[in-house]
Structure 1
Amino acid sequence: MNILIVEDDPIFAQGLQAMLEEMGYHSLGIAQEANEALRLMSATQPDLILMDIHIRGAMDGIEVAEQMKQRSLMIPVIFLTSLQNQETFSRAKQTNPFAYLSKPVEVAQLQRAIELALHKYAHKSSHLNEWANDVAIQNSFFVKAGRRIQKVHIPDIYYLEVDRNYSTIMLKDQPLKVRMTFKELSQKLPGHQFLKINKSYIVNLAKVDNADLEKNEVQVGQYVVPLSKRYRKDLLKALDIG
């Protein structure tokens, strides 16, 4: 279990690390301010975040949690704070944290909070695919990539490579690997725009630049995708060539 600590008090942060070690968890490190916290979240993909509300920088811990939602960083958060006012609690509640603990924190209290947070997150994760389908809109859809829920803009897709239960969505800048079958992906794509040209490849026809029928290759932007003879006629028909 990998846990990231967001805390600007070094003594308290070291105390948290000691507690986590005692409980058998692994600390991925300590972030003392908002930008550092967000960078480490993206880089290390923690299983859980212990977030102090009052931290250094332009954003407090609650605003960091809001940024996480905007960036689709679906990581459970436990807030830690010495602030006792209702306004702070009300703001924190809007980010749907998995727990809210007041400082100082005892080992048993933290242990229970972590166990409950992970239990609640596991239950919530079982419904992520349903949620992703519900929020798909117009020219985009959502996929679960690792611990992230990622929006994919359909016009940005060059091609898809399918390997059993996994698929790679090839975008301009980077590949996006997801646990999805060909059937699951096909349901999210407009059939008139995407064509299967090989048992493992589906291309975005809008991105096709040329096809070499001698080499059995299709140029899709900067990528070259193999063309199966079986699907050659389908490609010619889709490109409106007799």
Structure 2
Amino acid sequence: MENLHILLLEDHQEEADDLLSILEANDYTVTHVTDKQDAYQQLKNQAFDMMILDIMIHGKPEGIDFAQRLDYERIVIPFLFLTSIQSRAVFEKAKYTKPFSYLLKPFNPMELLYTIELAIESYHGQENTLSTAVTNAVIAPEFLFIKKLRKVVKVNVSTINYIEVNEKYCSLICDEGNYLIKLSLSKIKEVLANPDFKQTHRNYLVNIKKIKELYIEDNLIILGANHRVPFSERYKAAFLKDGLFFR
């Protein structure tokens, strides 16, 4: 499990401290910068899941300038603007940089947290998933963004050993812990779309890179940490025919 990493561009230290307090209290990792040059350099050095940009930096619309540069260079990261300026002209200029949202200061902490969740959903094209229930998730090719209490955590798909399904719920058995999400097996296969995950039973999806031992006659698969998963006749033939375990 990883915390979502947020890049915060804010030049007023007191306001930055307020934001850091809210975000870090909800287990988000935050990198704080005070100018657009530093923000751009941070993007070059590490990956971020989300950006929060103040529009006016040192008396200039550097937040908009920074967003325009990213758009020009086709660097796509979900972001939102925070500002105390209530100017239609500024709003129109900011709108063309394609932010997820535009929040006026002073902002409501819960509004900010909900907006971050919605931005993650929108970016990955899976609306109405995180905000409706604590067992929901947004699934991307490399990460799952899972709602856990009031925060969103990021789980690397490669750490999943297997997925067990019980009706409309999936249990994700991962290296660092287990997670429950509300999703059917067919739906998680569709949105996960990862060739490393193969169905071995009507209720199980296995990460083939985690397989340690395979007992054909006993219909049993042993994964890391001694996880034991059934192997049904229905899926065994196709699994072995494709040589998935031996690739």
TM-score, normalised on structure 2? 0.49
TM-score, normalised on structure 1? 0.50
Q: Which is greater in Rg?
A: 1
- Structure with greater contact order relative to length (CA < 8 Å, sep ≥ 6): 2
